[in-house]
Structure 1
Amino acid sequence: MAAAVRGRRHRRASNAPVSRVLVIGAGPAGSVFAIRMAMLGHEVTLVERAAFPRRRLGEALTPGVRPLLEAVGAGDAIAHAGGRPVAAIRQLWDGPEGRRLDPAAAGCIIDRGRLDARLLEIARAAGVVVRQTASVVARTADATGWRLVLSTAQGPVHWRGDFLADATGRTGQGIAQGPRTIAAHAYWRLGVDTPPEPCIEAGAQAWFWGVPLPGGLYNTLVICRPETLRAARGTTLQARLRTLLAQSRLLRGLSGRTCDGPVGARDATPRISADPVGPRFIRVGDAALSLDPISSSGVQKAIQGALAAAVTANTLLRRPEAGTTALAFYRDSLRRTADRHRRWATAHYATAAATRPDRFWQERAAGAPDASSPPGPALDAQLMRMRPARVSPLTRIGIAPCLGAEFVSEQPVVTHPGIDGPIAYLGGHAIAPLLARFPQGATPLEVARSWGDRVPLKPALAILARLLDDGVIVLEPPETGTDMGAQPGPAAQ
């Protein structure tokens, strides 16, 4: 938190222009975006409809969440939310029941209501004006900015500003990135009977997720087609959820327990906004891109996206001449993220679909890559030392919009079909200049040594291993490896 306040004071001391920014929605994406914009020196107002704390889905955090929160001075938010490490997950997916182990226990379970409340406190400390239990009832835009009317407990409030950020979450809007999906969910107060580990199960027509929460609560989700939920036996949503839970081997014991609060159902179709950003607005978090829940990384994606959105917005406000570059960067980054997660989800669904003929599984597994494709050769010290390497003919060096600390700018990048979009840096080192001076025909170890004036040997070898794994550089076939002076490509054959 102190880092957020220090960063904001530092920016206030500069001569950078200050803009008035309104953020709608105080989930992790909205709060992190607001904090970062305040750190950059903008006047930020954050509007949230609900009182905190409140229950919210998204209680399992992936390991990448913590460093992202630390980047905005919010590293203590996980502890405030009762974060409990997860060392194992009970699973029944593409084989017999078992436990997926994580000896490092890098992921954790939290109370999302408390996490959101803590992030809102940190936003206040960073200088963000928070208007809670308030909503936007009218908005207009003109050449000078935005005019909004907020409904608050004290009466209407009129706000005028320069930039609007929509962080209102999943709304069922946007372009579907997969089949229609619904998540039915309920909380159960099990006390001492609460299972110690999360569980995931692939059923005949759905998949099930159960997660133990701080305070003896247990949350269950049933992810299925909307038609499956409607067809389940029962006249109420709770009855239909119980019917589906009774079909689960791992969670069927809950079907006779008492729910703690109302049962809910929400659209869980992965979607991407058709209009995610403009010169005076940006969509953040699930309002910009919502993932298939199988990813279990929605919170991490939302925070990553919020940090990128803040740099994009800062560029639009302070460097309007780079606006086209910033807009292109944000749109492309959302598209690449959507494509990457769709490929991963499809492959994961395919592992269960191999033994489950129902439409739910087959639709979601359609287009999965052939799992029987042989892996590439394992990289070992001998290969790095003995086999010559060259830049792949499919590798290209060009210029593309890239994310900096405060602004989006065009930078030299490397592209290749094997990597997810253009990359400018690996391990903090610019990649394009390194590849531009790649000594063709040298072994990876010799290449790493030739980069010694820019990159220490150990990080250079790690970069080369990553580039080899992605296909950006390739090893010469063994039969051509004896001619160290040969040049790559057809002329060397």
Structure 2
Amino acid sequence: MLNTEMAVGTTPISTQILVVGGGPSGSYAAAALAREGFQVTLLEATKFPRYHIGESLLPSVRPLLKFIDAEESVINYGFTIKPGAAVKLNQYKREGYTDFVTPDLNNPSWNVVRSEFDDLLLRHALKCGTTVIEDTKVTDLQFDGEDSSARPVSATWKNTSTGMQGHISFDYLVDASGRNGIMSTKYLKNRRFNKALNNIACWGYWEGTDFYSPGTSRENAPWFEALDDESGWAWFIPLHNGSTSVGVVMDKDISIRKKKATVATGGSGTNLQTHYMEELTRAPGVLKLIGIGTLRNDGQLDAVKSASDFSYSASTYAGDHFRLAGDAGDPFFSSGVHLAFTGALSAAITIAASIRGFCSEADAQRWHSAKIGTSYTRHSTSVIPLQTVADKEMPIMSDVDEDNFDRAFELIRPVIQGTADVGKKLTEDELQKTMDFCSHIVGSTDPEMVAAVKARQAFFICLNELSHVILNFDRLDPVLTSPSGPVMVESDLDRLFGDDDDEAKAVLGKISIGKHLHKLHNNPTYNFGVKEHFGFKAVLERGKLGLVNV
């Protein structure tokens, strides 16, 4: 629980930086800015801990947490270790596995109870020097002008417990108010929902379930599975409190039709729970993992929860002295928390840069919008093809901003296209081939296959020692599977193995994709301190947080 000071703090009448929302994005931005010595006030509408979905985290959150000195607290808390994720997109093929701990054994992520994880982050923001006020909702913003470019200068708040109201003025605003998105929905009116992810989710919590791959390095990893009628997918996420989160996601229109059919046939129990249980039968892998487990509060109204419209973005993420940050992702890979942290760090960097005069406020705004748009698009290129299992003809990236797409795909293009220069724009056909290749690599190996291929290396080493240096399909140079070895693309694998060794191609291809994804997602300096936008790069040094002109 939060301490008394946090729960009953007095809202100041002014602050240098106001953060609206105490979720992962708001808490992260507040912590990052407060550590720089800025005066930060965070207003949170509810009382923490509070319930939230989005429980399985990407390993990319680790270096981001480390940057604000919060990683150790999360490690020590006792959340369920997530060594990777099993993904079954085709009922007629073996599941794929995304390995988080190869080549780095210290790289697992976590499955978390979000109420506890979010509470931990909010307390960390307080520890960093943020003034945190709970039960205090921002209801309105006031601006220094009347046109759309006006600068927000103060906020009206209301205490949801006492009814007390007041105002707070500020120099900078971070709107991390999540789905409510006061700037986006009430003033900018620029929120847009991803047409390819117009989904609805329903889920419940189970006890006494089995778990994935016992006795292996993959033990207790979460499981994601496409429904056998290709209408959506299901998740199975074990949590540290002894429960397992099990959910189903599908297109909203399909879900509505199925629920109506359930009512027409006289389904028993609550309509939502009946629909939920019926859809789980379309995920045999999930049912096998549930085993003899039981649904919490079975038959009660709160046994199954539901949510929709959880995948959205904005046309811009910054304006005069304000930044937008928060959950704009999708729960398939829990990219929402990753994007929340990314947006929060970008907001902190650009506000610090503006305050310190490292760049103009206009440059800081442009940098933030570009960074958030690129991050959202990069995740979309991974998530959307996996999500749209129900419609193979869907134009998967039709609603993504072209500039953001070009910037996002620039990082992954060399890996999946080799040395070929495909030009500035990528067609949908080229993108689909890219996703097919990545899905094939991720989905075509298992531990036994990897072990068998690596075993060939021992034979190769023996031959080397005997001065018989031979490389063929039975003997592999150990450098090929080494963490420091080359990243190999499809053309490299074809050149080495042709059509004669699919096993080696699958294993080496997966290792190469893993190396690149570790670089892409697991090092914030790669995304912030190296990648430039509009001639500026981030400075990720405590006390000097900001932007530098390159």
TM-score (norm 1): 0.67
User: Contact conserved, 2:19 with 2:26, CA < 8 A, in 1?
Assistant: yes
The SS at the match of 1:148 is: strand
What is the aligned counterpart of 2:93 among 88, 96, 103? 96
Q: Which has the higher helix share?
A: 2
1:248 is aligned to 283
Gap change, CA 1:171 and 1:209, over 3 Å in 2: farther
Shift of 1:38: 0.8
2:153 is aligned to 146
In the alignment, residue 59 of structure 1 is paired with which amino acid? E
Higher relative contact order (CA 8 A, sep 6+): 2
C-alpha distance in 2 between matches for 1:91 and 1:348: 10
User: Contact conserved, 1:74 with 1:122, CA < 8 A, in 2?
Assistant: yes
Shift of 1:192: 6.1
C-alpha distance in 1 between matches for 2:15 and 2:320: 13
Shift of 1:52: 1.8
Q: Does 1:230 align with 2:256?
A: yes
2:316 is aligned to 275
The SS at the match of 1:272 is: strand
What is the aligned counterpart of 1:258 among 295, 318, 334? 295
1:434 is aligned to none
Q: Does 1:363 align with 2:380?
A: no
Q: Does 1:329 align with 2:367?
A: yes
In the alignment, residue 38 of structure 1 is paired with which amino acid? A
In the alignment, residue 279 of structure 1 is paired with which amino acid? D
User: Contact conserved, 1:188 with 1:217, CA < 8 A, in 2?
Assistant: yes
C-alpha distance in 2 between matches for 1:121 and 1:160: 24
Within 5 A, what are the aligned runs for 1:157-236?
157-171=166-180, 174-191=191-208, 196-203=220-227, 204=229, 205-232=231-258, 233-234=262-263, 236=271
1:349-381 Cα offsets, whole Å, 9 max, x none, are 57xx4xxxx43x54275734325787344799x
The SS at the match of 2:332 is: helix
In the alignment, residue 244 of structure 1 is paired with which amino acid? E
2:537 is aligned to 402
Q: Does 1:26 align with 2:7?
A: no
What is the aligned counterpart of 2:124 among 119, 122, 125? 122
User: Contact conserved, 1:311 with 1:408, CA < 8 A, in 2?
Assistant: yes
Shift of 1:135: 0.7
C-alpha distance in 2 between matches for 1:250 and 1:180: 23
User: Contact conserved, 2:54 with 2:336, CA < 8 A, in 1?
Assistant: yes
User: Contact conserved, 2:371 with 2:533, CA < 8 A, in 1?
Assistant: no
The SS at the match of 1:40 is: coil
2:521 is aligned to none
TM-score (norm 2): 0.60
1:198-244 Cα offsets, whole Å, 9 max, x none, are 21101120011110111111112212111122122246333322222
The SS at the match of 2:196 is: coil
Shift of 1:54: 2.3
How many equivalent pairs are there?
368
Q: Which has the higher strand share?
A: 1
C-alpha distance in 1 between matches for 2:117 and 2:351: 25
Q: CA RMSD in A?
A: 3.2
User: Contact conserved, 1:86 with 1:108, CA < 8 A, in 2?
Assistant: yes
C-alpha distance in 2 between matches for 1:88 and 1:315: 36
C-alpha distance in 1 between matches for 2:125 and 2:72: 13
Within 5 A, what are the aligned runs for 1:63-142?
63-79=59-75, 81-87=77-83, 89-94=85-90, 95-98=92-95, 100=97, 102=99, 103=101, 104=105, 106-142=108-144
2:40 is aligned to 44
Q: Does 1:375 align with 2:416?
A: no
User: Contact conserved, 1:47 with 1:134, CA < 8 A, in 2?
Assistant: yes
What is the aligned counterpart of 1:239 among 269, 274, 285? 274
The SS at the match of 1:344 is: helix
1:169-206 Cα offsets, whole Å, 9 max, x none, are 23596123442422423332414657644211011200
The SS at the match of 1:285 is: coil
C-alpha distance in 1 between matches for 2:128 and 2:152: 24
